[in-house]
Amino acid sequence: MKFIADSMLGRLARWLRLLGYDTLYFSRIEDGILVRTAQEEGRTLLTRDTRLVKRRGLKNFLLLDENDTFDQLRTVINTFHLLPGGESGRLKEHSPSRCSLCNTIPVSVPGEDARPHVPDYVYRTSDGFRRCMKCGRFYWRGTHPEKWRKKLSDVLKP
């Protein structure tokens, strides 16, 4: 399952990436390009724009009414029966599956590589470092994944 989010849904896009779902997002993009990219790449368009979904030829989309990011996330998860962890269907025990900023899959790097770039206590207490080779952001097992997992379990609560 792959998505493309309209320009009003940046926060939702970041959460879907953290869940492991390939989600394109551009803060500025023409409607026509948005729709064409969705079609060409087999992505489901997530949008709040009622006019956009009337575009000719657009088949796979979800129109979201909700204002709140987590309400939107809940609707997306329930509509498509998404399982945390992307296609694998399991909530990963370690870092998020995709970079929340640029949708790239981070690669594992040795702790030594992360050392100059992360807070000292993180270097000392964490392992499983990964780095997004596109934007350079580091991910690790620790407080951040912990926080988002907590938030996520709140979202997934029936």
Q: Which residues bind Zn ion (CB under 5 A)?
A: 99, 101-102, 132, 134-135, 137
Which residue in 109, 106, 156, 112 sits closest to 128, CA to CA? 109
Cβ proximity to Zn ion: between 74 and 144 the closer is: 144
Q: Report, in Å, the least distance between residue 98 CB and Zn ion.
A: 8
Which residue in 134, 138, 109 sits closest to 122, CA to CA? 138
Q: Report, in Å, the least distance between residue 132 CB and Zn ion.
A: 3
Cβ proximity to Zn ion: between 30 and 113 the closer is: 113
Q: Report, in Å, the least distance between residue 138 CB and Zn ion.
A: 10
Cβ proximity to Zn ion: between 57 and 116 the closer is: 116
CA distance 71 to 69: 5
CA distance 102 to 62: 22
In the numeric block, the tokens 């998505």 are attached to 3
